[in-house]
Amino acid sequence: MNNIDNKPTKKRGNKKAQLFTTSQYIVPQQLLSKVVGKVAASKNPLVTKAFVHTFAKVYGIKMNDYARPDLDDYDSFNDFFTRELADNARPIDQTPNGIVSPADGMVSQIGRINREQILQAKGREYDIGHLLASIEEGRYFQNGTFATVYLAPSNYHRVHMPFDGTLIKTRYLPGTLFSVNNTTADNVLDLFARNERMVCLFDTEFGTAAVVLVGAMIVAGIETVATGKMKRSTTTIQEQTHHIPLKKGDELGRFYLGSTAIVILPEAANTQWQVGLQHESVIKMGELMGTASVSSQKMAGANI
């Protein structure tokens, strides 16, 4: 696991952005998230109604796309925050060999991995081996491609499969809980490689691929279909092996409050991202992000 201390890195941008970033080093991140998590899990109807209605109003959440459009139909804030979509609210693009967005959100960064370096923000990169907590896997994905999707608090918060694949491994990595918005990404060194995260590895037509679910400030937990909701640990990496076939568009996991999903593809996939898809592009789950070139037989060495 990446050993990065919690000293503030050199801040960029205006004073407001610098103050916001610096404050995140001061607040007790884990304690704050724990307290918020308990409130969000409460099934007290007065607490639930107050939080759900206030949150929906503040963030302008429209309920037309959801299976339960009435705000009073949720028995806790967590139930509301991880609300399910109505049938056919997010059609899954069926382009052959297409890679679709795993979530509703905004593209933070997208492109090619420079050897083993992923772009976090303009002028700031981080090591993929640190993100995955595996030097071997970092080397495997060198010169591959990636797409980072930021989920704002107002977004739908379930994460879905961007491709067909068999889930073969999950690795839960405890860490810090910085915000993952653009301001923090621009100012905190190795942000995604130091925050709490869940690495999911898949066997696919084009080799091993990954989706990383990154936790953030006030996020009360990360859940996957293979592991359930993870119990937080300050020191222990939890790794499990699986054999779970999943189709493009199937649910993979969910966040309890806003966060980030990173799709990582090997060089062998020869991924071509959609023209015009760039920093701050708004995207919905199931929309086409790009295509992978798949030969009739996997390239030698296309798996870890």
Cβ neighbours for 226, distance < 8 A, ≥ 6 positions apart: 167, 170, 200, 240, 242, 244
Examine the residue annotation and report whether 259 is marked as an active-site residue of this protein.
yes
Cα distances from 48 to residues 45, 58, 73, 78, 79, in angstroms, run 5, 15, 10, 9, 9
Q: Which of 130, 157, 160, 190 is catalytic?
A: 160
Examine the residue annotation and report whether 160 is marked as an active-site residue of this protein.
yes
Instruction: Find out whether 191 and 181 touch, Cβ atoms under 8 Å.
Output: no
Q: Which of 33, 104, 108, 186 is catalytic?
A: 104
**How far is Cα of residue 165 from the mean position of the Cα atoms in its chain?**
18
**How far is Cα of residue 28 from the mean position of the Cα atoms in its chain?**
22
DSSP state letter for 73: G
DSSP state letter for 87: T
Using CA atoms of 191, 164, 208, 253 in order, give the dihedral in degrees to the nearest 10: 30
Catalytic residues, by residue number, are 104, 160, 259
